[in-house]
DNA sequence: CTATCGTATTCCGATATCGGCATGCGTCAA
DNA sequence: TTGACGCATGCCGATATCGGAATACGATAG
């Protein structure tokens, strides 16, 4: 076996920096492939591939307009990501006492031995 | 080139379902490796490897206690993820008019041709 | 029908990932 | 020191990813 978590998973789709950039760009509105590729400094096939992944996980929708194909954002799939990360909110906002004490302990342990 | 986004990136670290499970488990408190492996139904080396990735991106800290090594959560690294996804919140909560109209358009285009 | 533009797909090489297995290392007990 | 335990690391095979280049496909224009 290898690489258990394949595509078709939102978390995996946004693991790619360039795909995240595409999503950010699309917040400003629909764009054709070539324009996206140009603005992000990547080749057209490269952009098409990333867009395919994003489409397969449902983060992006495409619409044909003449010869062009406009890609638009469908951010609903990002909601689970937001909520999942939000489930850890109390661990970064409160109770740093325990964490700090813990870090101190780490330092001491490291020095002592 | 291949696989541009390596580890050492939080988004990549949480792209793995099992690593996400580890983080969730650690919300309940520190745990030794063997216990994590057992609760998640994976081998000990498997757990150690995932923990290593999580440690390298700073989502987890370890502490030696006798023969054991306790892993604890350090969720601060998840904050950027939460915020990034949050940047798309308005696209899934409001302005579904545009999206709906858009979906309708997709259907019509599909049927027409 | 043909040419052209915009985009998708395919083929390729390099690499990196994950899982399993065996083994190495550090710690504690006797 | 020796042995046992807990964990980390190394090596392997299978696979999947990304980037690049060439090419195939679809739509419009002429």
Instruction: For B29-87, write each residue's pLDDT tens digit.
Output: 999 999 999 999 999 999 999 999 999 999 999 999 999 999 999 999 999 999 999 99
**pLDDT at residue number A5:** 54
Rounded Cα distance between A66 and B16, Å, is 39
Judge: B106–A61 Cβ closer than 8 Å, yes or no: yes
Overall fold of domain A10-112: Arc Repressor Mutant, subunit A (1.10.10)
Where in chain B are the domains? 10-112
Q: Which nucleotides in chain C lie closer than 7 A to a protein CB?
A: 5-10, 13-23, 26-28
Q: Do A78 and B88 touch (CB under 8 A)?
A: yes
Reduced to 3 states (helix: H, G, I; strand: E, B; else coil), residue A67 is coil
Question: Of residues B46 and B2, which shows the higher confidence score?
Answer: B46
* Tens digits of residue pLDDT in A47-79: 999 999 999 999 999 999 999 999 999 999 999
**A 3-62 residues, CB < 7 A, strand D:** 3, 6-7, 12, 15-16, 18, 42-43, 45-46, 49-50, 53
CA A102 – CA A89 distance, rounded (Å): 19
Among candidates A12, A91, A103 on the partner chain, residue whose Cβ is nearest the Cβ of B73? A91
> Region A79-98: what's the mean pLDDT?
85
User: Mean of the per-residue pLDDT values for chain A?
Assistant: 85
Share of chain A above pLDDT 90, in %: 73
- Check whether residue B42 has its CB closer than 7 Å to nucleic acid strand C: yes
Angstrom distance (rounded) from CA B29 to CA B23: 10
How high is the pLDDT of residue B93? 81
The predicted model gives A24-41 an average pLDDT of 97
Q: What is the structure's pLDDT at A112?
A: 37
Buried b (16+ CB within 10 A) or exposed e, B58-77: ebbbbeeeeeebbbebbbbb
Contacts of B59 (CB under 8 A, 6+ apart): B10, B13, B14, B23, B73, B74, B75, B77, B78
CA distances A9 to A5, B44, B58, B92, B107, Å, are: 8, 26, 23, 18, 25
The confidence band for A14, taking pLDDT boundaries of 50, 70 and 90, is very high
A104/B21: higher pLDDT = B21
Indicate yes or no: CB of A88 within 8 angstroms of CB of B78. yes
On the question of pLDDT at B95 being above 90, the answer is no
Q: Please give the pLDDT value at position B21.
A: 97
- Dig out the tokens for B20 from the structure: 């996400």
Q: Tell me, rounded to whole angstroms, the distance of Cα A77 from its chain centroid.
A: 11
pLDDT given at position A8? 73
């Amino acid at each position: 076996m290898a690489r258990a978590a394949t595509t078709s998973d939102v978390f995996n789709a946004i693991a790619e920096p360039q795909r995240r950039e595409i999503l950010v760009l699309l917040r400003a509105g629909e764009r054709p492939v070539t324009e996206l590729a140009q603005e992000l400094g990547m080749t057209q096939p490269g952009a098409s591939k990333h867009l395919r992944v994003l489409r397969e996980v449902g983060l992006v929708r495409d619409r044909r307009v003449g010869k062009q194909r406009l890609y638009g954002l469908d951010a609903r799939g990002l909601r689970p990501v937001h909520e999942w990360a939000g489930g850890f909110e109390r661990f970064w906002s409160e109770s740093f006492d325990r964490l700090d004490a813990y870090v101190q302990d780490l330092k001491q342990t490291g020095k002592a031995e």
